[in-house]
Each structure stands twice: as structure tokens, then as C-alpha cells.
Amino acid sequence: MHNLLFISGGELVLVMLLALLFFGSKAIPDIARTLGKGMREFKKATNEIKRELNDYTSDIKKDIDEVSSSVTRETTEMKNKIQDNLKD
């Protein structure tokens, strides 16, 4: 059996049996539901943070792209002028 987060199959079964003993069979679905909701909220918050970071950095990226294209254009023009002067 594959190790899941460094837990072997036997250890996983033991943890499940202990959870069943401590919480009972009726409480386990509620616990699983609560964990699912928590994970969903965490994923939602993570996606929202990623979206906000992309929104804020898109303006910076656009400015950097403009500067980069301007520098490239200027260096190309200077290179062409130098080559023209060398030909003459």
C-alpha cells in the first residue's frame, strides 16, 4: 500500500478505528462534512488571494512590458544608426 503523508496503511486503519471509538459512528459524517467545508473555504480564500495578487501585479507587469519594448525599440534604432554610420 502507498504511504500517504508518511502514514502506512496499518497506521491509517488504526487512526480510523480510534476516531470511530472516540467520536462514534454518528458523529463522523458531521466531522467529515465540517472538514470538507473548511477545506472548501480555505481553497476559496487561496484562490481569492491569487486573483487579487494577479490584479495588482498586472498593472506593474504592463508597465514593465512598456518600458522593455521602449528600451528594445531605442536600442534597435541606435544599432541601425551605428550600422548606417559605419557603412558611410
pLDDT in tens, 30-80: 888 998 999 999 999 999 999 999 888 988 888 999 999 999 999 999 999
Higher pLDDT, 12 or 50: 50
Higher pLDDT, 72 or 15: 72
Helices 9-23, 27-87: crossing angle, 10 deg rounding: 130
Helix-then-strand count for the chain, H and E: 2, 0
pTM: 0.49
In the predicted structure, residue 1 carries a pLDDT above the cut 50: no
Q: How buried is residue 12: exposed, middle or buried, by Cβ count under 10 Å (0-12/13-18/19+)?
A: middle
Residue 57, C-alpha cell as written in the block: 501585479
